[in-house]
Amino acid sequence: MKRRCEARFLGRVPYPDGLRLQEALVRDLIAGEGREALLLLEHPHVVTLGRGAKGSHVLLDEMTRASRGIGIYEAGRGGDVTYHGPGQLVGYPIVDLSPDRRDVHRYVRDLEEVLIRAAGELGVTAGRVPGRTGVWATGRKLAAIGVRVSRWITSHGFAFNVSTDLSYFGHIVPCGITDAGVTSLRALTGRVLTLEEVALAVTRHFGDIFDREMEGCGGIERTFGPASGSDSARGAA
């Protein structure tokens, strides 16, 4: 029997609130009291710092940051520096990798596969670049991945550029990569896709790759507010 995973589209969520919601869901799963969830949302303009972040990869000065309304937070995930903002679908899977998926490398590759398949469904041929985490199209990064795994419970996840204003990536060195740019579904297709449309595609492929029965209306549910080993971080969201 497939495990059940609740897909929730939360709309626009301040970054600190997203962190607190993830932490609560992880605690519940570790305690054996919670349910697996795939949180899908967008954040206001924010720069986040992974465990491997270098200060030199943040190119913002305080005046620019204030004038453009960009927050900055330590994320507690793997990876370097990234940007989140409107038009970007952020996914936070809160799932238990026990007993048969206890492999962080495999987990990251599986997340990439979910997004590659979703991009394909939406008309974009995407793939991987050897030695680099994330999903790529036309030599540019379409989606970034940075995860945390605590007692084999996952948190953090991916950032999928849908109609993101790509100029904001100019304020950072995205994921520490200096020789490749970023792109979005809108830049690649010329189509204006809603986040809900992309979230539905991601949800379907997440269920297929992770062998989960995705719950919610049509596989995804709009809802607001929180629901009732070793520690490792990986990737570069």
- Claim: this prediction has a pTM higher than 0.85: yes
Q: What is the 3-state secondary structure (H, E, C) of 10-48?
A: EEECCHHHHHHHHHHHHHHHHCCCCCEEEEEEECCCEEE
Q: Give the three-state DSSP class for 52.
A: coil
Based on the number of CB atoms within 10 Å of its own CB, is 137 exposed (0-12), middle (13-18) or buried (19 or more)? buried
For residue 86, report the phi and psi dihedrals to the nearest 5 degrees: -55, 140
Q: Name 172's bridge partners.
A: 58
Predicted local distance difference test score (pLDDT) of residue 80: 78
CB 49 within 8 A of CB 74: yes
Based on the number of CB atoms within 10 Å of its own CB, is 165 exposed (0-12), middle (13-18) or buried (19 or more)? middle
Predicted local distance difference test score (pLDDT) of residue 237: 44
Q: What is the 3-state secondary structure (H, E, C) of 169-194?
A: HHHECHHHCCCCCECCHHHHHCCCCC
Helix (H) or strand (E) holding 140, with range, is: strand 140-150
Residue with tokens 């030695």: 131
- Residue ranges of the domains in the chain? 3-236
* CATH, domain 3-236, list 3.30.413.10, 3.30.930.10, 3.30.2290.10, 3.90.1150.200: 3.30.930.10
Rounded Cα distance between 111 and 173, Å, is 23
Q: Name 158's bridge partners.
A: 91, 145
Query: pLDDT in tens for each of the 237 residues of the chain?
Result: 899 999 999 999 999 999 999 999 999 999 999 999 999 999 999 998 887 777 787 888 888 888 888 888 888 787 778 899 999 999 999 999 999 999 999 999 999 999 999 999 999 999 999 999 999 999 999 999 999 999 999 999 999 999 999 999 888 766 666 667 899 999 999 999 999 999 999 999 999 999 999 996 445 655 433 333 345 555 544
Catalytic residue among 175, 177, 199, 220: 175
Which tens digit of pLDDT belongs to each residue from 117-154? Answer: 999 999 999 999 999 999 999 999 999 999 999 999 99
Helix (H) or strand (E) holding 93, with range, is: strand 88-94
Rounded Cα distance between 83 and 113, Å, is 22
Is 175 a residue of the active site? Answer: yes
